[in-house]
Amino acid sequence: MIEVQNLTKQYGTKKAVDNLSFTVNDGEILGFLGPNGAGKSTTMNMLTGYISSTEGKALINGIDILDDPIEAKKNIGYLPEIPPLYLDMTVKDYLNFIYDLKKCKLPRKAHLEDVCNLVMIKDVYNRIIRNLSKGYKQRVGLAQALIGNPPILILDEPTVGLDPKQIIEIRSLIKKLGKKHTVILSSHILPEIQAVCDRIIIINGGKIAADDTTENLTKNISTDHKLIARIEGPKDEILKMIKNMPGVVSVVADMEREKGIFDYEIEAKEGVDLRRELFKRVVARNWVILGLKTTEMTLEDIFLKITMGDDVVINTKKNDAEAKAEAADAKAEEYDKLAKKADEASAEAIDEKEGEE
Ligand SMILES: Nc1ncnc2c1ncn2[C@@H]1O[C@H](COP(=O)(O)OP(=O)(O)O)[C@@H](O)[C@H]1O
Ligand SMILES: [Mg+2]
């Protein structure tokens, strides 16, 4: 378990890390997400005792990293941003050297073999590190962190500079490691964090901007619910029908896709999923749905929102939604005049059912 209390790092007048507090439980894979310069590496360097903190403390399994660094560090495997490799050594010599440095007590040959199998570097075991590809160098860096089998792994941007194939390999390796270790992983690449981590701390300007499970973060932000339905049928009647559905904020018809077929952009109230009801109503009127998709906000959107100035983005969105709602209202009035009782009989039947809910 890692407990971080009011951790702060001051460089001159600049606070690189500003009063961070969080806890990482055993077995968790925590993602540290933030743009460059957010303070991720500085935080990791303090957690691992590589640099001292200006204020606050970090406890590794209950041990203060500054009070008893040797005991605390026994629990940690660290892969810094730039792997600490000796390029002139062979992989074999380097890993043996690290084994000695860490005063590892596990049976040497078997343990090094296990580690090499895990990170898949057996085929380069006797090669000079300098000549390895970046992906292999990174895996040797991981191997170094794994020696001594520490319960906690701290990995600083482990996939930076790798090609897509290597990125996928390292990611699945980290997921595998997460089954037996507590992992903190930093990245400025969102899909990476999303793919690998159970929990995400978004860090920006040295402060925590969000701290939640990946699932919750994704769920919280997908409430901005927009639906695009491609429907074949009389446009004005369709607009009116959708406008009358409970939970609809606005609806506008996009351009004509094929003859008599339009895309309707529907905005629903928070937490309302219109898809099933829309389907029923369209079928009840003998129109046809040819396409239906939700455009939910992604974690990428929230990351940008948080790191690029929340207010601006939210306000524009709100105004945009308001403008659309007004436009839709104006249009709806027109349609009211045109479309009379065409769909009322069947719509009433459906509304009655809703009234009971
Ligand atoms: N040794 C240092 N001296 C002065 N400023 C530093 C030092 N190390 C980092 N910084 C500054 O602290 C901030 C956070 O850096 P860093 O932790 O490396 O961010 P990240 O890893 O999220 O990209 C940056 O503005 C960086 O320039
Ligand atoms: Mg960094």
Q: pLDDT digit string (tens) for 302-339? A: 677 666 654 323 323 334 444 445 445 544 554 454 44
User: Which of 26-30, 298-302, 308-312 has the highest average model confidence (pLDDT)?
Assistant: 26-30
Ligand minimally distant from the alpha carbon of residue 7: 1
CATH number at residue 208: 3.40.50.300
**Cα-flanking dihedrals φ and ψ of residue 182, to 5°?**
-85, 130
How many angstroms separate the alpha carbon of residue 83 from the centre of ligand 2?
A: 12
Residues 236 and 211 in one domain: no
* Strand arrangement of the beta sheet that strand 182-187 belongs to: 76-79, 152-156, 182-187, 29-33, 199-204, 207-213
Say if residue 131 is in the same domain as residue 146: yes
Are residues 46 and 186 located together in one domain of the fold?
A: yes
Q: Are residues 342 and 195 in the same domain?
A: no
Task: Name the residue range of residue 296's domain.
Answer: 222-356
Which residues share a beta bridge with 258? 261
Ligand 1 within 6 A of CB of 82: no
What was the pLDDT predicted at 302? 67
Mean pLDDT across the stretch 69-83? 95
332 plus 210 within the same structural domain: no
Domain end marker among 182, 200, 215: 215
> Which atom, in ligand 1's list, is nearest to the CA of 39?
17
Radius of gyration, CA atoms only, the chain: 28
In terms of domains, do 158 and 233 share one?
A: no
Question: Helix 299-307 and helix 214-221: axis angle, to 10°?
Answer: 80
Sole residue written with tokens 């039947």: 349
Number of domains in the chain: 2
Same domain, residue pair 159 and 238 = no
Pair (81, 166) in one structural domain: yes
Regarding whether 276 and 177 lie in a shared domain, the answer is no
Q: Is 38 close to ligand 1, i.e. is its CB under 6 Å away?
A: yes
- Ranking 90-104, 109-123, 185-199 by mean pLDDT, the lowest is 185-199
- Residue 77's contacts (CB-CB under 8 Å, 6 or more residues apart) are 144, 145, 146, 147, 148, 150, 152, 153, 154, 181
Contact 163, 138 (CB under 8 A): no
Percent of the chain with pLDDT over 90: 62
Q: Whose CA is nearest to atom 12 of ligand 1?
A: 16
One domain, residues 37 and 13 = yes
Same domain, 207 and 253: no
Residue among 202, 226, 343, 338 at smallest CA distance from 286: 343
CA of 156 to the centre of ligand 2 (A): 7
Residues of 5-19 as b/e, b for ≥16 C-beta within 10 angstroms?
bebbbeeeeebbbbe
Both 56 and 173 in one domain: the answer is: yes
pLDDT of residue 40: 96
Assess whether the C-beta atom of 34 lies below 6 angstroms from ligand 1. Answer: yes
Dump pLDDT digits (tens) for 120-162: 999 999 999 999 998 899 999 999 999 999 999 999 999 888 8
Query: Which one of 198, 215, 232 terminates a domain?
Result: 215
The CATH number given to whatever domain includes residue 274 is 3.30.70.1340
Residue 259 phi, psi dihedral angles, 5° rounding = -60, 120
Q: Indicate whether this model's pTM tops 0.95.
A: no
CA atoms within 13 A on the CB side of 30: 24
Picking from 215, 244, 269, the residue at the C-terminal end of a domain is 215
